[in-house]
Chains A and B, each alone.
Chain A
């Protein structure tokens, strides 16, 4: 069991900045926590009822009130001030995502993530676009800009290792950006209750080395999509296999709809 207070290793450019704010707050709150709880326990032991001793008759102390008003105020303002830039960097994609960011489109719907890739020309809405279900593939070291939308209810696009979370709201297109720093396999999840299949609305997130990403795109656009019904669990699990072999398991079409009792079709 993990009782630790450390966050998983961040793998996006602003991830470590977010984490440093987290650790700052952790240190500040931990110190306050220990001081207050220790004071509480010490007071309880020291000032417990003893025969013949009376409590001190005091209604307060204005100087102390001033101290414990001003000090917390300064502390939280420092935290807010330090948080501000990181927040705007992480969230205002239009201001921060570099111009050469890879454009993607993610449309959420019950209970899947449909990712539109721009193809080799790196432009959306052109003939070489292609769509993958529940598979996010991006190159390392390059910013990605996602236009996030939803077809039905609110979902939340959550890439825990990248410190990315953004609700996908029907009727809105919300820009999301991040820059992967480490190649590997990561999780994509839904963080907003979106219906009975919410718990299995997950996908894979693959960060390729630049060359591997280019060849993955080339394969995707040269080969017709292979319609292999594969359980979502194994889809895109093997990065090397996926980028090396055109017959790699693909999560396509009906594959994410598990033939189980809690299917999407109701009533």
Chain B
């Protein structure tokens, strides 16, 4: 035995799949406390789709109140006297609804969907590894997220209800129960997110280590699929940003429980310090919520267009520069906060600059489609929706980045429209694209394409009918988080628009039943998935669907980048990364010798 330490992920310490060898793990080890990254990815998928449903139902309640203020929800008395007596939503419950909708969607739905699901599903397979660098840490990451979610859910049922200080939890409202009327709920909110932070950190450490150390021979950095680049950058952001949030949450919890005054001005605390800490985490968080979506979109777009991604290197540079700039723009959330206005001017400049790498990405996606051979499969439709909607979300961001314009539209429905164009129109469409694309690989069955297309069309149409008019409401001055906008004379005339949005929102919610049905039905009865249903190039597609425990029968060798579609002279319009070049091979720019 060698006394030399073996580096993490070295081929000799990886447990590759053994074909013909029966998997003798117990049910519990295989499906519950599994260390297999694919199973953990699926667990995260079930968990975060459940929370997506919770967040969506909360949104339906919000829209009910805004569409028909004060009207009893049919059967709404089930919510209880403290929340909605007779089915009529109370103002304090409404504030909880907007708070918890944001909290669930950001922390328990979009973030775990992008990072937990696709990070786990894709990283080991895309880099050519048997599993994550730290499989048990990976398992711990999932099983830490579960109690965090349960604590957050439990906060609805304690006296005083769930947190109602907004998902941004601005102190002192969040720090002083006597001012918010929420006692236990706010503490549970803090505890839940502290616990969830540990889950994210365990994931991030794993992702970074796996990508750095466990790339198969030939998988050079510039041959990594773009989702992996995006997840790598995202993991670094998570690693650096989450501790800031955790620290701030601990201080907030101390203010509520042991009488400190970090954010309470009466005893010398600083309310604005909470905002600085929160947004120092919060803006990188925004990129945590969009970069993996950009990676997925790039992957699906190149596949659907049967064309190499346009400007691969520039896509990578854009990801890196967005992540870097993401650290110096947090003040743009605080232009109207009382922060020194001269700081606002510098934050405006850095924020404007971040539009540049975003524009680079959009133009490169267009370049990828140019002279492509575009196949409109369901994942492709959703990826295209990402591009179309991200353009709107990006452009509306310029309005808020301009400090004087932000004076008027800050904290109005314009920002609500903007965030939803980025997180729903952007992230969620990319998530749908990713689920439709990789579902066959991980569950061994195809999702029904007809239902998929119906779901896509309805979601796309109703989504726009819900969120586009919110721009107009914002421009008319309608503030966020108003239980009843009709209290304001100048907002009352816009009630028909609010009702219109609410009708669209209910239809948007209903359309998601198609996805739920398709998902559950296809799990059992979907068409058997072939290994490579999309004729794609990355390493997972040469494995069976689903890949066995240990993924690859042996260390794969990578010969080319992941986007070698329609290579002239090649007999197919795709060329898997691990397919050896034929003897006397094809002359392509990408053919390079392999470094072991």
* Chain A residues in the interface with B (C-beta under 8 A): 1-8, 14, 17-18, 21-22, 25-26, 28-29, 32-33, 36-37, 39-40, 43-44, 47-50, 53-61, 64-65, 68-69, 72-73, 76-77, 79-80, 83-84, 86-88, 90-92, 110, 152-154, 156, 158, 160, 163-172, 174, 187, 189-200, 202, 261-262, 266-267
- Given contacts A55-B565, A169-B271, whether A199 and B484 have CB atoms under 8 Å apart is yes
Whether B395 lies near A191 (C-beta < 8 A) is no
Whether A170 lies near B271 (C-beta < 8 A) is yes
23 interchain pairs (CB within 8 A)? A8-B476, A8-B477, A18-B405, A43-B374, A56-B372, A57-B568, A60-B364, A72-B356, A76-B356, A80-B349, A84-B345, A88-B345, A91-B341, A91-B403, A158-B477, A165-B336, A171-B265, A195-B173, A195-B180, A196-B91, A198-B483, A199-B481, A199-B484
Q: How far is the CA of A1 from the CA of B376 in the complex (A)?
A: 35
Whether B95 lies near A198 (C-beta < 8 A) is yes
Interface of A is mostly: mixed
Chain B nearest CB, measured from A135 CB (Å)? 15
- Given contacts A18-B408, A88-B341, whether A60 and B480 have CB atoms under 8 Å apart is no
With contacts A172-B338, A193-B481, A195-B179 known, what are 7 further pairs, Cβ within 8 A?
A2-B497, A8-B476, A29-B395, A40-B384, A47-B372, A87-B345, A193-B165
Whether B405 lies near A21 (C-beta < 8 A) is yes
Whether B179 lies near A153 (C-beta < 8 A) is yes
Whether B371 lies near A47 (C-beta < 8 A) is yes
Smallest CB gap from B305: residue in A = A55
Q: How far is the CA of A64 from the CA of B310 in the complex (A)?
A: 11
Chain A nearest CB, measured from B582 CB (Å)? 18
* Chain B residues in the interface with A (C-beta under 8 A): 90-92, 95, 98, 160, 164-166, 170, 172-173, 176, 178-181, 183, 265-266, 269-272, 305-308, 310-314, 336-338, 341-342, 344-345, 348-349, 352-353, 355-356, 359-360, 362-364, 366-367, 369-376, 384, 387-388, 391-392, 395-396, 398-399, 401-405, 407-408, 410-412, 469, 471-472, 475-477, 479-485, 487-490, 493-494, 496-497, 500, 565-568, 573, 589
- Given contacts A57-B568, A69-B360, whether A191 and B265 have CB atoms under 8 Å apart is no
Smallest CB gap from B170: residue in A = A154
- Given contacts A5-B475, A53-B373, whether A83 and B367 have CB atoms under 8 Å apart is no
Q: How far is the CA of A72 from the CA of B357 in the complex (A)?
A: 9
Smallest CB gap from A261: residue in B = B90
Chain B nearest CB, measured from A210 CB (Å)? 25
Whether A170 lies near B90 (C-beta < 8 A) is no
* Chain A residues near B477 (CB-CB < 8 A): 8, 158, 160, 187, 189
Q: How far is the CA of A250 from the CA of B93 in the complex (A)?
A: 32
* Chain A residues near B412 (CB-CB < 8 A): 191
Whether B355 lies near A72 (C-beta < 8 A) is yes
